[in-house]
């Protein structure tokens, strides 16, 4: 009932009437008194809050979160203290998931394209119509026995969504390609090759005494940053002696900034550095001699060619060779003597044409210091507890994408279904995906936001936000024991009021509906996605072990949802350490894309702390989160060494054109003292053609200018192997950054607040 001010005053005039109204509103009377101007508004707290446990979908690894819900609206995200991955802490990205839920540009119902493809013109249709259109195309394919012309493009899927998608493709036909712009293909291969493991092991930073990492920005964006950060806190100031941390990288990342020592390495020479470290350990007899013997094939592999003095100039051209050699010796001795020690790598170290060699050399170091499957070292993870519910599967290497694109060009792909992936944004232009997409008759997108791929699609079936829907996740890497993280709706769907024909739906449910319409039996244990999930929980219940013990399934189910998942600290990996350490890889030199004379600088893209691979760009909190080292926000910047920039006459904010052999982009210069001389580093994440009001046409996309080189063995994109040239465009734009927002206090070396001198006290009148 609308109430005018006069009516309100009339009603509240009599206390009896007031009591009636207040009672009707359900708010205690004393909470509605006129507020005194001396009171702190925060002293008055109204309303009840409920916290629901679920799983965050904004970080690379499923972290457990609890969400505060008041009056049906999600208000705050915090870490779930019970959850083995993050134990109560969380990242900026988890927090910002709330803004995705209430994003003003969320897609409110199914859309069909009404203009040219890519024109951005869509019309709303009903879900019945949308699903009808999708099944019509799929039925056409199956009628002509051409199911293999279906390509399902997704993010790496885990948990029950992964299971349903797999089942759909297995029963209907078609192929799945998973999209991960800064792919982990090499990492997975190396884990298999060096440790004979199918699942990513846990890196036990927490209990290590010495950590030696290569390339991976593991405190910031790599694999499982919150878990590693939690371990890092303990590693630094925990119950044990403070650990030592050395980071080797071709760029000065946030992780490098936190290392006790940053070793500069030329791009692609991380593996050589690792072999050099191995040489010191082996020649000085500091490591496990049996492992040394195995790694060198009984001395067959001559490590002496990698003695620090012989390779120092190759590892870094910027650091004097004798100093570099000393540094390598020191690090090798520290690593061998301070045990448990742990060596790992990833990120740009893996993203070269010799990525697999680099990574194999790095991870092999763990054998020398007995850190394989040991606390404080590499801890093997067990296989997931439910056989058909996967941890995220092997990612699709770039070479597979290339063959997909060539099939698209040959019109062999007729229907593309895209979920949680943005290949129009994340694949290099040189791959030719955009041009090839016009040969695909139907692109269906399941995205809840109008990202670059959705804008290029023909039909949009908006997905529910992760905070509105069911799912599970098997964190990969896991915590060292079996676990399933549960995701439950913490609020009712935001567009529920639009009725069942509009609004958003869960991906799993839509797939199941489509299968039903196509008469494809998925053989799933339930009619809805929730029932399938519940069946998974029932199977966990039947294991009769783990974190939730209950007399019956109903209590078990409630327990699992309350705690955010199921885990069994006793269910550790039963795999033993490989009986023999595999021999060290044969060194290969990196090959770079672009001629060194015309393209003298080395381009290192890096995942932005907040936007990661670009998926956070739509969220204003993440756009406004300062990058840890540059403090830049909202734009694309390029990190250039300050003295190099000086020589080129480049100031901060100068618009710089970065040109590779495959295209060019512009970014705002950020000269800093830490970037190596021949490197330019550019964050990934901006430069979206669509993506809503906060992402669209903002900054530029560094992925677009990458060369198509790939790791020779795995086919993974060598995204750190492109050479570029840089030049000033003559334009200037202020770089929005946090640094200098606060002026520095005047320095007072003598700790005197006001210095009184005879001149001061005498006064000058």
Partner 1 sequence: MGEKSWGMVIDVDKCTGCQACVVACQSENNIPINEEEHFNQRRAIEWIRVERYWEGEFPDVKARFIPILCQHCGEAPCEPVCPVFATYHNDQGLNVQVYNRCVGTRFCANNCPYHVRFFNFWEPEWPETLTNQLNPDVTVRSRGIMEKCTFCVQRIRRTERESERDGVDLDDGDRALSPACVNACPTSALVFGDFADPESKVSRLKEQEEKEDGRAYRLLENYGTEPSVVYLKKVEEGAKSASHG
How far apart, in whole angstroms, are the C-alpha atoms of residue 308 and residue 238?
Answer: 34
Quick one: which segment of 335-343, 362-370, 589-597, 624-632 binds partner 1 (CB under 8 A)? Answer: 624-632
Any residues with CB less than 8 A from the CB of 403 and at least 6 apart, and which? none
**H or E, element range at 13:** helix 5-13
Can residue 631 be called a binding residue for partner 1 (CB under 8 A)? yes
CB–CB of 609/625 below 8 Å? yes
CB–CB of 211/341 below 8 Å? yes
Q: How far is the CB of 742 from partner 1 (least distance, A)?
A: 4
Of the candidates 198, 359, 371, the one whose C-alpha atom is nearest the C-alpha of residue 271 is 359
Of the candidates 345, 339, 217, the one whose C-alpha atom is nearest the C-alpha of residue 605 is 217
Nearer to partner 1, 39 or 115 (CB): 39
With 0-12 CB in 10 A as exposed, 13-18 as middle and 19+ as buried, what is 591?
A: middle
Can residue 261 be called a binding residue for partner 1 (CB under 8 A)? yes
Q: Helix count (H) and strand count (E) of the chain?
A: 23, 25
How far apart, in whole angstroms, are the C-alpha atoms of residue 334 and residue 315?
Answer: 19
How far apart, in whole angstroms, are the C-alpha atoms of residue 149 and residue 146?
Answer: 6
Nearer to partner 1, 200 or 226 (CB): 226
Q: How far is the CB of 342 from partner 1 (least distance, A)?
A: 17
Question: Beta strands 111-113 and 122-124: pairing type?
Answer: antiparallel
CA separation, residue 480 to residues 209, 439, 558 (Å):
19, 45, 25
Q: How far is the CB of 221 from partner 1 (least distance, A)?
A: 10
Quick one: which segment of 3-11, 226-234, 382-390, 724-732 binds partner 1 (CB under 8 A)? Answer: 226-234
Query: Site residues for partner 1, window 78-117 (CB under 8 A)?
Result: 78-79, 81, 86, 88-92, 95-96, 98-99, 101-104, 106
Q: Tell me which of 38, 756, 759, 764 binds partner 1, using CB under 8 A.
A: 38
Q: How far is the CB of 105 from partner 1 (least distance, A)?
A: 8
Can residue 233 be called a binding residue for partner 1 (CB under 8 A)? yes
CB–CB of 216/349 below 8 Å? yes
CA atoms within 13 A on the CB side of 652: 15
Can residue 562 be called a binding residue for partner 1 (CB under 8 A)? no
Q: Tell me which of 16, 24, 34, 742 binds partner 1, using CB under 8 A.
A: 742
How far apart, in whole angstroms, are the C-alpha atoms of residue 183 and residue 716?
Answer: 7
Q: How far is the CB of 363 from partner 1 (least distance, A)?
A: 23
Nearer to partner 1, 142 or 330 (CB): 330
Of the candidates 653, 652, 644, 663, the one whose C-alpha atom is nearest the C-alpha of residue 702 is 663
Q: How far is the CB of 762 from partner 1 (least distance, A)?
A: 26
Any residues with CB less than 8 A from the CB of 574 and at least 6 apart, and which? 382
Can residue 71 be called a binding residue for partner 1 (CB under 8 A)? yes
Number of neighbouring beta carbons within 10 Å of residue 303 = 19
Question: Cis (ω within 30 of 0) for the bond into 340?
Answer: yes
**H or E, element range at 227:** helix 225-237
Nearer to partner 1, 88 or 118 (CB): 88
Q: Tell me which of 61, 178, 220, 269 binds partner 1, using CB under 8 A.
A: 220
Q: How far is the CB of 254 from partner 1 (least distance, A)?
A: 6
Q: How far is the CB of 747 from partner 1 (least distance, A)?
A: 11
Number of residues binding to partner 1, judged by CB under 8 A: 99
Can residue 749 be called a binding residue for partner 1 (CB under 8 A)? no
Nearer to partner 1, 368 or 645 (CB): 645
Nearer to partner 1, 147 or 625 (CB): 625
Nearer to partner 1, 70 or 170 (CB): 70
**H or E, element range at 63:** strand 63-70
Q: Tell me which of 118, 578, 628, 663 binds partner 1, using CB under 8 A.
A: 628
Question: Beta strands 378-379 and 202-203: pairing type?
Answer: antiparallel
Nearer to partner 1, 167 or 247 (CB): 247
∠ Cα 434 439 444 (to 5°): 75
Q: Tell me which of 118, 559, 626, 663 binds partner 1, using CB under 8 A.
A: 626
Can residue 24 be called a binding residue for partner 1 (CB under 8 A)? no
Instruction: Assign residue 239 a region (left: φ > 0; alpha: ψ between -120 and 50; beta: otherwise).
Output: alpha
Any residues with CB less than 8 A from the CB of 622 and at least 6 apart, and which? 92, 93, 96, 99, 610, 611, 616
Can residue 620 be called a binding residue for partner 1 (CB under 8 A)? yes
Nearer to partner 1, 75 or 410 (CB): 75
Q: Tell me which of 53, 56, 77, 484 binds partner 1, using CB under 8 A.
A: 77
Q: How far is the CB of 585 from partner 1 (least distance, A)?
A: 27
Quick one: which segment of 174-182, 454-462, 507-515, 639-647 binds partner 1 (CB under 8 A)? Answer: 639-647
Nearer to partner 1, 97 or 346 (CB): 97
Quick one: which segment of 76-84, 420-428, 516-524, 680-688 binds partner 1 (CB under 8 A)? Answer: 76-84
Q: Tell me which of 70, 136, 290, 543 binds partner 1, using CB under 8 A.
A: 70
Write out the two tokens for 415.
């229907």
Q: How far is the CB of 647 from partner 1 (least distance, A)?
A: 14
Q: How far is the CB of 631 from partner 1 (least distance, A)?
A: 6
Strand, coil or helix: 167: helix
Any residues with CB less than 8 A from the CB of 194 and at least 6 apart, and which? 360, 363, 364, 582
Nearer to partner 1, 168 or 495 (CB): 495
Q: Tell me which of 364, 430, 612, 641 binds partner 1, using CB under 8 A.
A: 641
Bridge partners of 154, per DSSP, are 178, 419
Query: Site residues for partner 1, window 487-526 (CB under 8 A)?
Result: 494
Q: Tell me which of 252, 357, 556, 719 binds partner 1, using CB under 8 A.
A: 252
Quick one: which segment of 188-196, 447-455, 614-622, 680-688 binds partner 1 (CB under 8 A)? Answer: 614-622
∠ Cα 582 357 230 (to 5°): 85
Nearer to partner 1, 161 or 675 (CB): 675
Q: How far is the CB of 698 from partner 1 (least distance, A)?
A: 9
How far apart, in whole angstroms, are the C-alpha atoms of residue 351 and residue 358?
Answer: 9
Query: Site residues for partner 1, window 279-338 (CB under 8 A)?
Result: 316, 318-319
How far apart, in whole angstroms, are the C-alpha atoms of residue 291 and residue 273?
Answer: 19
How far apart, in whole angstroms, are the C-alpha atoms of residue 265 and residue 319?
Answer: 9
Query: Site residues for partner 1, window 656-715 (CB under 8 A)?
Result: 672-677, 693
Q: Tell me which of 8, 17, 23, 39 binds partner 1, using CB under 8 A.
A: 39
Q: Tell me which of 257, 286, 572, 661 binds partner 1, using CB under 8 A.
A: 257
């Amino acid at each position: 009932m609308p109430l005018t001010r006069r009516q309100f005053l009339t009603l509240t005039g009599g206390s009896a009437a007031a009591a009636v109204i207040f009672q009707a509103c359900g708010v205690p009377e004393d909470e509605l008194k006129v507020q005194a101007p001396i009171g702190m508004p925060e002293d008055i707290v109204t309303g009840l809050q409920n916290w629901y446990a679920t799983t965050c979908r904004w970080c690379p690894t499923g972290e457990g979160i609890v969400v505060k819900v008041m009056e049906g609206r999600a208000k705050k995200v915090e870490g779930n203290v019970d959850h083995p991955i993050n134990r109560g802490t969380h990242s900026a990205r988890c927090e910002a998931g709330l803004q995705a839920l209430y994003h003003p540009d969320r897609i409110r119902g199914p859309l069909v394209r009404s203009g040219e493809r890519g024109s951005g013109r869509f019309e709303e249709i009903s879900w019945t119509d949308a699903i009808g259109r999708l099944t019509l195309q799929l039925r056409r394919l199956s009628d002509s026995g051409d199911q293999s012309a279906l390509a399902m493009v997704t993010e790496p899927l885990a948990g029950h969504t992964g299971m349903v998608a797999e089942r759909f493709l297995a029963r209907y036909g078609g192929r799945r390609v998973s999209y991960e712009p800064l792919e982990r293909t090499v990492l997975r291969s190396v884990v298999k090759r060096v440790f004979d493991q199918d699942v990513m092991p846990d890196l036990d930073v927490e209990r290590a005494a010495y950590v030696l990492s290569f390339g991976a920005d593991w405190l910031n964006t790599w694999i499982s940053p919150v878990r590693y950060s939690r371990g890092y806190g303990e590693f630094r100031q925990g119950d044990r002696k403070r650990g030592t941390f050395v980071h080797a990288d071709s760029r000065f990342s946030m992780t490098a900034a936190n290392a006790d020592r940053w070793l500069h390495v030329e791009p692609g020479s991380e593996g050589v550095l690792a072999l050099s470290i191995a040489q010191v350990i082996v020649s000085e007899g500091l490591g496990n001699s049996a492992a040394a013997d195995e790694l060198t094939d009984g001395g067959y592999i001559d490590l002496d060619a990698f003695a620090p003095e012989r390779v120092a100039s190759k590892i870094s051209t910027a650091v004097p060779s004798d100093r570099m050699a000393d540094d390598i010796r020191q690090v090798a001795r520290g690593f061998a003597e301070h045990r448990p020690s742990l060596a790992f790598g990833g990120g740009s170290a893996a993203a070269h044409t010799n990525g697999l060699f680099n990574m194999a050399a790095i991870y092999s170091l763990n054998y020398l210091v007995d850190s394989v499957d040991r606390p404080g070292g590499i801890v093997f993870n067990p296989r997931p507890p439910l056989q058909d519910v996967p941890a995220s599967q092997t990612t699709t290497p770039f070479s597979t994408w290339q063959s997909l694109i060539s099939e698209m060009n040959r019109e062999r792909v007729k229907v593309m279904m895209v979920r949680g992936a943005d290949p129009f944004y994340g694949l290099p232009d040189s791959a030719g995906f955009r041009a090839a997409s016009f040969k695909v008759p139907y692109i269906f997108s399941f995205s809840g936001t109008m990202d670059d791929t959705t804008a290029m699609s023909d039909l949009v079936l908006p997905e529910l936000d992760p905070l509105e829907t069911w799912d599970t996740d098997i964190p990969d890497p896991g915590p060292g024991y079996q676990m399933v993280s549960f995701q439950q709706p913490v609020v009712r769907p935001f567009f529920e009021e639009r009725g069942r024909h509009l609004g958003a739906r869960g991906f799993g449910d839509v797939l199941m509906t489509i299968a039903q319409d196509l008469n494809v039996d998925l053989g799933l244990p339930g009619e809805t996605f929730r029932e399938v999930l519940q069946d998974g929980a029932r199977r966990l219940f039947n294991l009769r072990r783990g974190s939730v013990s209950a007399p019956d399934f109903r209590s078990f189910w409630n327990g699992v949802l309350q705690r955010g998942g199921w885990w069994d600290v006793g269910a550790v990996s039963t795999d033993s350490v490989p009986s023999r350490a595999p021999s060290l890889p044969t060194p290969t030199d990196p090959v770079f894309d672009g001629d060194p004379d015309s393209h003298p600088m080395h381009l290192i893209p890096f995942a932005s702390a907040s936007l990661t691979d670009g998926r956070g760009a739509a969220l204003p909190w993440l756009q406004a989160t300062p990058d840890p080292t540059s403090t830049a926000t909202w734009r694309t910047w390029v990190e250039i060494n300050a003295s190099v920039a000086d020589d080129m006459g480049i100031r901060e904010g100068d618009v710089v054109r970065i040109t590779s052999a495959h295209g060019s982009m512009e970014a705002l210069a950020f000269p800093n003292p830490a970037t190596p001389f021949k490197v330019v580093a550019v964050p990934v994440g901006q430069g979206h053609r669509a993506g809503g009001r906060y992402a669209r046409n903002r900054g530029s996309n560094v992925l677009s200018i990458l060369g198509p080189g790939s790791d020779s063995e795995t086919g993974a994109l060598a995204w750190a192997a492109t050479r570029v040239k840089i030049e000033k465009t003559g334009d200037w734009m202020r770089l929005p950054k946090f640094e200098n927002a606060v002026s520095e206090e005047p320095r007072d070396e003598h700790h005197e607040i006001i210095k009184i001198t005879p001149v001061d006290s005498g006064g000058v009148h």
